[in-house]
Amino acid sequence: MLDYITSYLSSNTTPGQAGNVFWALVYIMVVFGGVSVAVMAMNWLERKALAHFQIRLGPMRVGPHGLLQPIADAIKLLTKEDIVPSEADKFVFWLAPLIILCASFTVYIVVPFGPTHAITDLNIGILFMLGVSSLSVLGVVMAGWASNSHYPLIGALRSSAQMISYEVAMGLAVVSAILMTSLNATGTGTLSMIGIVQAQQSQQMWFLFKFFPLGFIAFGIFAIAMVAETNRAPFDLPEAESELTAGFHTEYSGLRWSLFMLGEYAAMIAVSSIAVTLWVGGWMRPFPNWLTGETWDLVFSLIPGFLFLGLAFIAFIGVARMPKHPYFRVQTIGLAGFGAVLGLIGLVLFAPPVRDRIQDIFWFCAKVAVFMYLYIWYRATFPRYRFDQLMRVGWKVLLPVSIGVLILTAIMGVLF
Amino acid sequence: MQPVATTFFFYFLSGITVLSGILVITRNNAVHSALALILGLLAQAGLYLMLYAPFVAGVQIILYAGGIMVLFLFVIMLVNLERAQKEEQFNKQWLVGLLAAVALGGLLFAVYVKGGTLFTEHIAQPVENSNTQQIGVMLYGNYMFAFEIASLLLLVAIIGAVVMAKKRI
Helix (H, G, I), strand (E, B) or coil at A118: coil
**Please, which pLDDT band fits residue B1 given cuts at 50, 70 and 90?**
very low
pLDDT of residue B17: 93
Q: Which of the 8 DSSP states describes residue A19?
A: T
Q: Looking at beta carbons, which residues of chain A come within 8 Å of B132?
A: 123-124, 191
Across the interface, which of A92, A131, A189 has its CB nearest the CB of B62?
A131
Residues A28-66 have pLDDT tens digits of 898 899 998 899 889 899 999 999 999 998 888 887 888
pLDDT the model gives residue A2: 74
pLDDT: is B116 or A369 the higher one?
A369
Instruction: Judge whether residue A233 has pLDDT over 60.
Output: yes
Exposure letters A361-377 (e unless 16+ CB within 10 A, then b): ebbbbebbbebbeebbe
Q: Note the residue count of chain B.
A: 169
* Contact (CB<8Å) B61/A132: yes
- Helix orientation angle between B30-50 and A90-106, rounded to the nearest 10 degrees: 30
Statement: residue B49 has pLDDT above 60: yes
In chain B, count of helices (H) and strands (E)? 8, 0
Task: Write out chain A residues lying below 8 Å of B59, CB-based.
Answer: 127, 131
Whether chain B has a CB inside 8 Å of the CB on A166: the answer is no
Backbone angles phi, psi at B92, to 5 degrees: -95, 15
Distances (CA, A) of B28 to B71, B90, B93: 20, 10, 19
Q: What is the average per-residue pLDDT within A313-335? A: 86
Q: Rounded to whole angstroms, how far apart are CA atoms A44 and A273?
A: 20
pLDDT above 90 for B157:
yes
Name residues whose C-beta falls within 8 Å of residue A237's C-beta, 6 or more positions apart in sequence.
Answer: A158, A159, A162, A231, A384, A385, A387, A390
Q: Looking at residue A189, what DSSP letter applies?
A: -
The per-residue pLDDT of chain A, averaged, comes to: 84
Best to test chain B binding among A11, A102, A124 (most B CBs inside 10 Å): A124
Which residues lie below 8 Å from residue A193, measured CB to CB, with a gap of 6+?
Answer: A110, A111, A112, A118, A121, A122, A125, A126, A129, A277, A282
Q: pLDDT for A110-120, tens place per residue?
A: 888 888 888 88
Rounded distance between C-alpha atoms, residue A296 and residue A106, angstroms? 37
Q: Is A142 on the interface with B (CB under 8 A)?
A: yes
Q: ipTM, 2 decimals?
A: 0.79
Min Cα distance B130 → chain A (Å) is 9
Q: What is the pLDDT of residue B100?
A: 93
* CA atoms A283, A288, A294, A300: torsion sign: negative
Please report, as a single letter, which amino acid is at residue A311.
L
Residues 75-134 of A with CB under 8 A from B: 89, 91-92, 95, 122-124, 127-128, 130-132, 134
Length of chain A in terms of residues written: 416
Interface test with A, best of B74, B85, B129, B135 (most A CBs within 10 A): B74
> How buried is A226 (Cβ within 10 angstroms: 0-12 exposed, 13-18 middle, 19+ buried)?
buried
Q: What percent of chain B stands above pLDDT 70?
A: 82
Q: Average pLDDT of B87-113?
A: 85
Q: pLDDT tens digits, residue range A370-404?
A: 999 998 998 888 888 888 888 888 888 999 999 99
Beta carbons of A221 and A169 less than 8 angstroms apart: yes
User: Which has the higher per-residue pLDDT, B51 or A268?
Assistant: A268
- Interface contact flag, B54 A160, Cβ < 8 Å: no
Q: pLDDT tens for residues B7-22?
A: 888 889 999 999 999 9
CA distance A99 to B30: 19
